[in-house]
Amino acid sequence: METRSFSDNSYEQFLNEDKLMGSRCRQCSALSVPPRPICVKCYASDMEWVEMNGKGKLAAFTSIAVGPPFMVQEGYSRERPYVSGVVELEEGARVVARIEGVDGTRPESIRVGTPLRVEFLHRKDGDSIATFLAFRPE
């Protein structure tokens, strides 16, 4: 049985393992992605881990031309913007993620409602690996 604490740290560890995980309240079944230690529907602390199937659709997005230093380091710029978005998962929860495989230079072509599938972007972070949650059109 999975015993990791229902924390952001555990959520990130699962992403490193190519798993998008959330918490489900054993009392009222409310689902949270990322996980929560306390259920905000019924206030219980009795949680279990559930894995998402990785399918969803685009609920909102932006194409960012002026990004933070870590995105600039990845090679993004005014000429090469990247897309971030909000994804509504099939299970009903929403997550924020990078959106790959769409044209950031033509944001007018990107449509809210586009079906997406999860992708895990592994990046070297000093000696360790950091994983960024991403989605791509199916």
Partner 1 sequence: MIKRRKLGRGVAVVGAGMSRFGMFRDKDSKDLFAEAFREMMSAVDKGIDPGDIDALYLGNFTNDFFVQQGHWGPIVSDLIGLAPKPATRTEGACASSALAIREAVFAIASGFYDIVLAGGLEEMSKRSTEEVTQGLAMAAIPYEVRAGFTFPGVFGATATAYFAKYGASREHLMNVTIKSHNNARLNPNAQFNLSIRDIMDNRVERARKKGEPVPDWKDEKEFLRDPKANPVVAWPMHLYDCCPISDGASCVLLVAEELARSFSDNPLYVAGIGQGSGRGLHAKEDLSCFEATRYAAQEAYSMSGLKPDEVQIAEVHDCFSIAEILHIEDLGFFPPGEGYRAVEEGLTRLDGSKPINTSGGLKCKGHPVGATGTGQVVEIWKQLRGEAGERQVPIKDLRIGATHNLGGTGGTCTFTILERR
Residue ranges in contact with partner 1 by CB under 8 A: 8, 33-34, 59-69, 71, 78, 81-82, 84-86, 93-98, 104, 107, 112-113, 132-133
Collect contacts of 36-42 with beta carbons under 8 A, ≥24 apart: 36/6, 37/5, 37/6, 37/7
Q: How far apart are CA 97 and CA 130, in angstroms?
A: 14
Residue 19: CB minimum distance to partner 1, A: 16
Closest C-alpha among 135, 105, 112 to residue 15: 135
Asked if 36 and 25 touch (Cβ cutoff 8 Å), the reply is no
Residue 1: CB minimum distance to partner 1, A: 26
Residue with smaller CB distance to partner 1, 67 or 137: 67
Closest C-alpha among 49, 7, 20, 1 to residue 119: 20
Residue 110: CB minimum distance to partner 1, A: 8
Residue with smaller CB distance to partner 1, 1 or 19: 19
Residue 94: CB minimum distance to partner 1, A: 5
Residue with smaller CB distance to partner 1, 36 or 49: 36
